[in-house]
Structure 1
Amino acid sequence: MPARRTTVLIMAGILLVALNLRAAITSLGALLDEVSTGLHLSGTVAGLVTTLPALAFAAFGSATPWLTRRFPAARILVGAMALLAVGQLLRALSGSAWTFLLTSAIALAGIAIANVLLPVLVKEHFPHRPGLMTGVYSMTLILGTTTASAASVPVAHAFGDWRAGLGVWGLLAAVAVLPWLRPALRRTNASARAAAAAPRVRAGRTRLGWAMAIYFGAQSLSGYATMGWLAQMFRDAAFTPTDAGLLLAGVTAVGVPFALLMPTLAGKLRDLRPLVLIMSAAMIASYLGLALAPHGGALAWVALLALGQAAFPLALAMIGMRARTGEGVVALSAFAQSTGYLIAALGPLLVGILYEATGGWTLPLGFLIAAAVVQAISGLAAARPRFVEDELTAPAMTAVTNPPSRTREVVG
């Protein structure tokens, strides 16, 4: 396959995968009340449902480096998108809470693996334009998030069942398999065997790895609490279910230009600390507004929250910027995301517990403000320019930054 066609195929594959990475989550957030009623979920179990994405991302994301050392990326992505498609379709047919949780976990396993792989693929295949490509796929991810938030309730109403509003996104995941089929069938395991022999980068043994993990975790905690509960906050503030879903979609829609700009801007700036502080401050202001005037200032709080959540594309960009090698990006991506999502799992669960215990949103929003403060502190530490390989011991750093020569992996 000519190089240009290969590049276009890889780009299309990355963007289709990104389009699917949040639809399974925000579609549930928009329909959480209907699902809870249909499956007789208690408030605590509903909190567990909204926490499941972060738990799944922590568990399955940590396994991705093991997979990349044994299989080509295209084959891994085919499997990941197949899991996502099948899991979403099966959960739409679930008849009990536990079946719903199990099938949701299957779908989320596919997302977890793709989460870790995308920064690696961008650094490998677009080494001269990593910021632009990270911005484009972050924007595409947000587009999928927005579409699922806005369309799930209308689709459910059109078919008269919440199951249609969830199951339709399984078809989108099936489409994302297509660009990777030919590369997956044509490739050999030679590069995977070479990767298995390469020295390992253990990001969890570095201060940078932990700073990135805590930063990623704190901003993800806010993101998943928002996706899981923001629509309910607006419903409780006297908005209709459809309007509440549209306001949730508005957070991601307003965030599109920020997602496109942020990685490119990060690549041009030597000091990322002002970006970290601006986004944390916007997030705190949004939570204060939601606590004090959730109805009257709804549009302002949505806009501020959208700016605050631009911390997510910044974190993705920083993963690629804080590693010298492909092995370093895989290790840092897996550790920051799996550990970060484990931290983030506390968000929706604790918000649900605090909401059920108090019957209001003041205490849950106070918890989210505290998380934004932690985000700012850890982000300032991660923003310092350095590389994860440089924090390893000298022999390990030499082995990783000067690996044995090997044939570059080619897709297609």
Structure 2
Amino acid sequence: MKSRLRLIAGLILLTINLRAVITGMPPLVGNVQRALALSGTQVGVLVTLPVLCLGAFAWLAPRLARRFGTRTAVCAALGVLALGAALRALPWPAALFAGTVLSGAGIAIGNVLMPAVVKDHFARGIGLFTGLTMTLMALFGALAAGAAVPLCTAAGWQFALAVWAVPAALAAAVWGLLAAPGAAGAVGTRRGTTPPEEPGSAGGSLLRCALAWWVSAFLGLVSLMFYVLVAWLPQIMHANGYTPGQAGLMMSVMLTIGIPLGFVVPVVAARMRNQRLLVVAVVVAKPVSLAGLLLAPAYGWVWVCLLGAATGSAFPLAITLLGLRTDGARSAADLSGMAQTVGYLLAGLGPLAIGVLHDVTHGWRVPVAVLIALVVPEAIAGLLAARPGQVRSSGPPAVARSGVGRVRVGV
């Protein structure tokens, strides 16, 4: 029981560090730009870099887990995250960008390994613990964004950035204890050892598994839509006649609606043999709300709330599928690494592409129409990813075992 409580504490500490460092930066961009005399291009790179890092470093996580053990890899990721959070608070542009890259790398590895930790230690409660992690990520992401300006006002922008190194360092220390050779249940903590439940080598075999690609595509398209809306929804609503304050509040409401859904959706999804009904609900709500923004902007609050329900359900559902569609912790880490590499690289390019399209067309009708069109491939990928089956990466080539009742996991 004590070891399980320590693992729950470790999972919570890991989760609360996977968004705060990213969401705490945008409100401080103006202060940082003035203090370090950054150009507009540098600012653009600074706000895009974290999401691109999530994709660029995700592929490392399964390899680190296989070589050193999942717990050791999580500990190292949190240590790198803490170092990056502290480094970017130094008063030099080079330190700011280097710290941002290190933070992004640590978060990327932690993102990938979180589903593996849930699958390994809480396999009978995938829905419950995935819901817990999604809720905490959303809460602390919102907390970091909301606290950034007050912290900056009270103690300066450097303190507002560096403060998030503290919970990351604490989490790294806890995972260091969990990874120690004498810790209960610690496996694969020494160089070259592997967890016993899935012997064998995964290699790149997931690239030959259709189900793995459908899950990856669904997560990628869901993430692209989310980050595009986070980047551009206030401007879209302002163009529709709302004040900047109202537009900012609308985005906040959209994100807030997703907090309870982050808990509910994984719990419900884990109780279902397949998750197609949830996919259908998401892919119907998105085009309806986006079309509403174009055709009936006077009802903007209605469409924003519907968008919040759709995006707030889609991402937790995609993350839950990483656990439900795999047969063990190693498979979950491999699929998570593949899906998040594809997903976040795609998501990182989305806001830039939509912004360019807006500049070229001098309006938001065409960009929003493109987002509506993207719901079609998202629906196809989601419906195929939601079919009963499991990805197994413990021996080449990867296979997808369909029709297995073991996919249904209670809480």
- Normalising by the smaller structure, the TM-score range is 0.7 to 0.9
Q: Residue 409 of structure 1 corresponds to which residue in structure 2?
A: none
Separation of aligned partners in 2, 1:391 and 1:110 = 25
Q: Residue 50 of structure 1 corresponds to which residue in structure 2?
A: 47
Q: Residue 185 of structure 2 corresponds to which residue in structure 1?
A: none
Separation of aligned partners in 2, 1:227 and 1:210 = 25
| 3-state SS of 1:333 partner | helix
Q: Residue 193 of structure 2 corresponds to which residue in structure 1?
A: 193
Q: What is the aligned-residue identity percentage? A: 36
TM-score by length of 1: 0.83
Q: Deviations over 1:200-233 (max 9, x none)?
A: 1621111111111111101111222333444555
Q: Deviations over 1:115-140 (max 9, x none)?
A: 11111111111121111111111111
Q: Say which of 207, 210, 215 aligns to 1:207.
A: 210
Q: Deviations over 1:383-409 (max 9, x none)?
A: 11112239987x8669xxxxxxxxxxx
> Cα distance 1:390–1:57, how it changes in 2: closer, same or farther (>3 A)?
closer
Q: Residue 281 of structure 2 corresponds to which residue in structure 1?
A: 278
Between stretches 343-352 and 87-96, larger displacement belongs to 87-96
Between stretches 298-307 and 285-294, larger displacement belongs to 285-294
Contact 2:238-2:244 at 8 Å conserved across structures: yes
AA paired with 1:170?
A: A
Structure 1 residue 60: Cα displacement: 1.2
Q: Residue 23 of structure 1 corresponds to which residue in structure 2?
A: 20
> Cα distance 1:374–1:47, how it changes in 2: closer, same or farther (>3 A)?
farther
Q: Residue 313 of structure 1 corresponds to which residue in structure 2?
A: 316
Q: Deviations over 1:283-305 (max 9, x none)?
A: 334434455677x6554344222
Q: Say which of 261, 267, 271 aligns to 1:268.
A: 271
Contact 1:48-1:348 at 8 Å conserved across structures: no
Separation of aligned partners in 1, 2:193 and 2:18 = 28
TM-score by length of 2: 0.83
Q: Say which of 157, 171, 177 aligns to 1:176.
A: 171
Contact 1:29-1:229 at 8 Å conserved across structures: no
AA paired with 2:171?
A: A
Between stretches 186-195 and 218-227, larger displacement belongs to 186-195
Separation of aligned partners in 1, 2:150 and 2:294 = 28
Contact 1:283-1:307 at 8 Å conserved across structures: no
Q: Say which of 3, 7, 27 aligns to 1:6.
A: 3
Separation of aligned partners in 2, 1:368 and 1:198 = 41
Contiguous gaps of at least 5 residues in structure 2:
183-187, 401-411
Separation of aligned partners in 2, 1:293 and 1:163 = 43
AA paired with 1:149?
A: A
Structure 1 residue 320: Cα displacement: 1.0
Whether 1:331 and 2:326 are equivalent positions in the alignment is: no
Separation of aligned partners in 2, 1:51 and 1:180 = 29
Q: Say which of 86, 91, 100 aligns to 1:89.
A: 86
Separation of aligned partners in 1, 2:154 and 2:294 = 33
Structure 1 residue 199: Cα displacement: 2.9
Q: Say which of 123, 130, 139 aligns to 2:126.
A: 130
Contact 2:27-2:149 at 8 Å conserved across structures: yes
Separation of aligned partners in 2, 1:79 and 1:185 = 13
Separation of aligned partners in 2, 1:30 and 1:297 = 28
Contact 2:279-2:379 at 8 Å conserved across structures: yes
Contact 1:44-1:352 at 8 Å conserved across structures: no
Separation of aligned partners in 2, 1:88 and 1:133 = 27
Q: Say which of 88, 104, 110 aligns to 2:106.
A: 110
| 3-state SS of 1:388 partner | strand
Structure 1 residue 193: Cα displacement: 1.2
Contact 1:149-1:246 at 8 Å conserved across structures: no
Separation of aligned partners in 2, 1:376 and 1:42 = 40
Structure 1 residue 67: Cα displacement: 0.5
Pairwise CA RMSD of aligned residues?
3.1
Q: Residue 143 of structure 2 corresponds to which residue in structure 1?
A: 147
> Cα distance 1:318–1:197, how it changes in 2: closer, same or farther (>3 A)?
closer
AA paired with 1:327?
A: R
Whether 1:166 and 2:161 are equivalent positions in the alignment is: yes
| 3-state SS of 1:194 partner | coil
Separation of aligned partners in 1, 2:225 and 2:219 = 10
Contact 2:72-2:175 at 8 Å conserved across structures: yes
Structure 1 residue 99: Cα displacement: 4.5
Q: Residue 351 of structure 2 corresponds to which residue in structure 1?
A: 348
Contiguous gaps of at least 5 residues in structure 1:
399-412
Separation of aligned partners in 1, 2:158 and 2:303 = 30
Q: Residue 304 of structure 1 corresponds to which residue in structure 2?
A: 306
| 3-state SS of 1:387 partner | strand
Contact 2:202-2:393 at 8 Å conserved across structures: no
> Cα distance 1:301–1:31, how it changes in 2: closer, same or farther (>3 A)?
farther
Between stretches 273-282 and 220-229, larger displacement belongs to 220-229
